[in-house]
Homo-oligomer: A and B are copies of this chain.
Amino acid sequence: MANMSTTLFTKHEQKLNDALEAIQNRGFYSAYPEIPSGKIYGETAKATGQETFENYLGSTFELNQSGTEGTIGNEISPYGMAIQTQYPKANIDVLLKSMAGACSAWRNATIETRVGCAMEIMHRLNKRSFEMAFAVMHTTGQGFMMSFQAGGPHAQDRGLEAIAYAYKAMNDCPTEATWRKQVGRDDFVTLNKIFKIVPKGIALVIGCSTFPTWNTYPGLFASLVTGNAVVVKPHPGAILPLAITVSICQEVLVESGFDANLVTLVSDTAEDPVTATLVERPEITIIDYTGGTEFGNWVEANAGNAVVYTEKAGVNSVIIDSVEQLRAVTSNLAFSLCLYSGQMCTTPQNIFIPKNGIETSDGHASFDDVAGAIVKGVDWMLSDQGRANEVLGAIQNQTTADRIDSVEGELLRDGCSIEHAMFGSARTRSIKIVKLEASQRDIFEQEMFGPLVYIIATDSTQHSIELASSIAIEQGAISCGVYSTNEEVLETAVEAMALAGVPVSCNLVGNIWVNQSAAFSDFHVSGANPSGNATLTDSAFVVGRFSVVQCRTFVPEPQKVEA
């Protein structure tokens, strides 16, 4: 068994080393190909993935874990079809006890053994990226391409990034040291010291409905490789992607001689939720949470002595001060606004434009010119049904659709549903765009998750910056786009938003968007405003998952020989 584990580490060592180099430089790196191509993944990979996915529908998903009492599950695809896969229903008392029992061997395994297992899991997840894409698509409502990329290789990259940080953090402390102190002219005291990595115990990862894998893998793998067992608690609407993930984890763990109960799935339904119960269990010592702000705040306050890492929600802004080519900017923004119907935590909600307009290299553009160009950009993006369906996807949750439907005001663009070419009963909405005045802060300072954009007329760019940064400080924010041809304005905006804990993207045009966050390079969520207390991924995200406990042993001095 030990040999098997070492083999896994050796098998994946080059990829680990590449990842370690990438987190040190934070330039471009990706370990898992993002192109859903048969040339890369195998010519039959897509068909096999789809078939595997379809076989899950209406069937029972078996997992290799203790304490199962019946099944549970009630997923419905945002594209309209019932998923109705049944998952093990956990007796939490029995499950946690089994997990505690599984910890000892895992804790005592070497760092290389644990990392080798985790990287083998990731490797197998990668091979099943098409299957995962369908699972993510039909639980989140993302378009297929996005489901493949964000649910598969991009999520795997973020997981590997966390593994790399955890590996680095565990190796930061030596495993042993000799402490030798001179205490007299010829007298020394010598201690041999051993430094042991002691994991916290059992971790809980609470997934979200929109990015079930991308937001879950960092916490799951960071906790696992640092020696903890992990309960994966998916959102009741997006269980399947994490059931597949847990299944692969269990498979690799068992093959490596460990107990499958080291990674378990606890599923529930919206009607009968169990997350709060898990959060309050004293056995849970680490919690990773992605989801809404209200419940996230509850988790932070009710986690007892558990270490808690949260990504909640925020109110994201775009500040437009001046541009070179207006069309290049509004085209870029249009895609950012449309992608996955605005259901990304990084999607802009508020676009601030000075009421007197902006300068462009083609001359002055009035507020209405700029707002109109954004609307036109969105119109064009959604003018082709195939493109619209693929970019918008579907609305994950009826609550989101209802929320946006209820918004009234000065509509620059309507947000009614649009037909899906492949799925007639898909829950869809177009992008609703509302014009507001800066005085209507009580409206635009509220997070309105979903396909809604406010375009807000401000007194000046300085006013825009003040609004964007103060809202970020109060409500949180995860992204900010700034457009200016003036270096000083850029600096002022970046400084203000950095202080508000918001990563800024400046002057994005072309094939790069404000809502993208690239593993190994972009820090996702700063941890420095109410949108979350953690970052994907930095050292702080991993070091709280284990302790170093030392042992020092007296070493007698050799007897002095009289000369």
Contact = CB atoms under 8 A, between A and B. Distances in A.
Nearest to A506: B553
Interface stretch (A214-222, A249-257, A508-516): A508-516
Interface in A452-504: 490, 494, 497-499, 501-504
A497 B549 CA distance: 9
A24 B177 CA distance: 10
Contact of A180 (B28, B191, B510, B539): B28
Contacts of A543: 538-540, 543
Given A183-B511, A549-B528, A174 B498 contact: no
B518 A547 contact: no
Given A503-B549, A506-B552, A508-B554, A498 B181 contact: no
A474 B83 CA distance: 46
A527 B502 contact: no
Contacts of A174: 24-26
A181 B28 contact: yes
B511 A189 contact: yes
Contacts of A552: 503-506, 522
Contacts of A305: 530, 533
Interface in A514-563: 518, 521-523, 526-528, 530, 533, 535, 538-540, 543-544, 547-554
A554 B181 CA distance: 55
Copies of this protein in the assembly total 2
A195 interface: yes
A187 interface: yes
A25 to B, nearest CB: 6
Interface of A: 24-28, 169, 172-174, 177-181, 183, 187, 189, 191, 193-196, 198, 200, 305, 490, 494, 497-499, 501-512, 518, 521-523, 526-528, 530, 533, 535, 538-540, 543-544, 547-554
19 contacts: A25-B174, A25-B177, A26-B179, A27-B179, A169-B539, A179-B518, A179-B521, A183-B511, A187-B511, A189-B511, A191-B512, A198-B498, A497-B549, A504-B550, A504-B552, A505-B553, A506-B552, A523-B550, A540-B543
Given A305-B530, A510-B554, 19 more contacts: A26-B177, A28-B180, A177-B521, A183-B511, A195-B523, A198-B499, A200-B528, A305-B533, A501-B549, A502-B549, A503-B549, A503-B551, A505-B554, A506-B553, A512-B554, A526-B548, A528-B547, A540-B540, A540-B543
